[in-house]
Amino acid sequence: MPDYDAVLFQWPGGDHALIVTFRLVLAALAGAALGLNRERHNQAAGLRTHILVAAGSALFMIAATEMAVHADAVSRVMQGIVQGIGFLGAGTILKLSKRVEVHGLTTAASIWFTAALGIAAAVGPLWLLLAATLLGWFVLGPLGRWQAKAKHENGSSHGSNMTKAS
């Protein structure tokens, strides 16, 4: 039987603790990169929510890998994160009953994407985290502004409600 007290207070050797902490901080920074945009647009899920989603996802993955469980168990942790985040994202979506509009889809998608960033920060190569963070930032920032400008120039409030769904 393992000595759980010894494991509980055991500090990892070498640079392992530094690397794990670095991955958690990178996850939080990636979440912040997307959360700042949502905060600027006064969305319900803003900076702190995105940081916690990314860091929490990373923490779940790191904890699973630190337990040295089989890859199938780590995969189930990842599946649980994706499923659980779906419920959080669903809470940000609002359908207005008197009009045919849905609000919050982009924020829900950004929460889902932020969870993926946390997973990538925890167990993936860091170039993937950087590339995905830049992609998410571009989609929420410059691409969102371009879309709003194009809609305004067209004078269209018909069709897709993507800007309203932010």
> In the beta sheet, which residues pair with residue 111?
none
> In the beta sheet, which residues pair with residue 102?
95
Helices (H) and strands (E) in the chain, counts: 7, 2
- pTM of the predicted protein model: 0.80
Tens of pLDDT, residues 71-121: 888 888 888 898 888 888 777 777 666 776 777 888 889 999 999 999 999
pLDDT interval class at 165 (50, 70, 90) = very low
* Domain range summary for the chain, segments of one domain joined by +: 16-153
